[in-house]
Structure 1
């Protein structure tokens, strides 16, 4: 299993995506306070808004993916790669633009980044059910474990950058997060698979 690129195409995008998402969710209140002078009392609702819109986006994304598959508009792997591309490319695009816009536009971009990122649930995140349905829970748990390590490291890196210089630091944070996220996207687009792997097939024994 460990030699299967399809599994690494789940683990690596998980790490890369969560690096960006953890920065958006954990660092958002600090960002709004530092860069746009919106204190924690005022930005409480704004900080929670991306989570609300992400929940809606995730549901809509799954419905659209099911429609594309049920109508046979796209093959399974194309659906997975399409939703992974949209769910990782556009969040990187919105995120890297945040330091260069006003507060209203910045919040809008961060909401859009967080919302579009949930489309990955119809992309690489659910992909283990396609190529290894018997081991999907194990593979998804493995990806989540590596993902959480990413979430532990990224706030420390963010803190290091903004402690060096507040304005430039935030730009470096978003550039790095976007670059890492795009790296995960490219890896999945190259190595992502939907065909059931040989080691994941059920082998029935016939007794005479």
Structure 2
């Protein structure tokens, strides 16, 4: 649960960091790929756990651990919080004319 909390905290805000105006689309796309495991995992369990022995279950947990670690390492190495060039910052032309107090109310 602890590792899941760390990965979810980083993963969920990363969409906002790299492309705020596209964060909802990116979150939907990444969650679609993540949801594929919910229908692939039963097939994988059936493949690994044919006779229901403890040794087979142990293999299944090793596979689960490996998938989790590979995903975490991939994210750790390649993820970035930098705004992407394909997602420029949105500019509000009316913000220039607003006072500080008005700007705080708009936001």
TM-score by length of 2: 0.76
The number of aligned residues is: 92
Q: Find the partner of 2:5 among 118, 121, 126.
A: 118
Give distance in 2, aligned partners of 1:137 and 1:177. Answer: 28
**Structure 2 matches for 1:30-109, cutoff 5 A?**
none
Aligned residues of 2:7 and 2:72 also touching (Cα < 8 A): no
> Highest CA radius of gyration, 1 or 2?
2
Give distance in 1, aligned partners of 2:3 and 2:80. Answer: 22
Instruction: Return closer, same or farther for 1:123/1:157 CA change in 2, 3 Å cut-off.
Output: same
**Structure 2 matches for 1:1-208, cutoff 5 A?**
114-202=1-89
Give distance in 1, aligned partners of 2:26 and 2:90. Answer: 20
Question: Which structure 2 residue ranges, 5 or more long, are not aligned?
Answer: 94-107
* SS of residue matched to 2:80: coil
Aligned residues of 1:124 and 1:192 also touching (Cα < 8 A): no
Instruction: Return closer, same or farther for 1:191/1:116 CA change in 2, 3 Å cut-off.
Output: closer
What is the Cα deviation at residue 184 of structure 1?
A: 0.4
What is the Cα deviation at residue 199 of structure 1?
A: 1.1
What is the Cα deviation at residue 119 of structure 1?
A: 2.4
Aligned residues of 1:131 and 1:195 also touching (Cα < 8 A): yes
Aligned residues of 1:128 and 1:136 also touching (Cα < 8 A): yes
TM-score by length of 1: 0.41
What is the Cα deviation at residue 152 of structure 1?
A: 0.7
